[in-house]
Amino acid sequence: MGGAGLARGECGMSDSDEDYVYDEDSGEWMTAADLAAKRAKDGAVEVRDAVGNILADGDQVTLIKDLEVKGAGQTLKQGTLIKSIRLTGDPQEIDCKYPGIKGLVLRAEFVRKR
């Protein structure tokens, strides 16, 4: 039983409810939150809006021009507020939620941070 406790200590695992994932780059087990933070820091892509403001996950943006949404048969008007954006890893695209439109992806050049 002492060996089992030692193995847990070596992996850095605790009895908390956190999910642990294996990081293939470092070969270590770490919490999902720690791994996400590490990957965000390593692969940080700087996304800027139409006027040069840096965008981040959860920001609210406003459209600076009317945009026709392909496949939805709908036009989003200038000044439309988009809440809680997500960055995609592409410096030109942001993932958005908007009522009635699933999977909306906008180009950063058409939005302004609010």
pLDDT tens figures, 60-81: 999 999 999 988 889 999 999 9
Per-residue pLDDT, 17: 62
Asked whether residue 28 falls in the same domain as residue 66, the answer is: no
Asked whether residue 13 falls in the same domain as residue 61, the answer is: no
Phi, psi for residue 23 in degrees, rounded to 5:
-90, 110
**Whole-prediction pTM:** 0.61
Asked whether residue 90 falls in the same domain as residue 103, the answer is: yes
Asked whether residue 54 falls in the same domain as residue 80, the answer is: yes
What is the number of structural domains in the chain? 2
Asked whether residue 51 falls in the same domain as residue 107, the answer is: yes
Asked whether residue 54 falls in the same domain as residue 87, the answer is: yes
User: Which ranges of the chain have pLDDT less than 70?
Assistant: 1-17, 40, 42-44
Q: What is the CATH number of the domain that holds 67?
A: 2.30.30.40
Which range marks the domain in which residue 38 is found?
Answer: 2-42
Per-residue pLDDT, 39: 73
Per-residue pLDDT, 110: 96
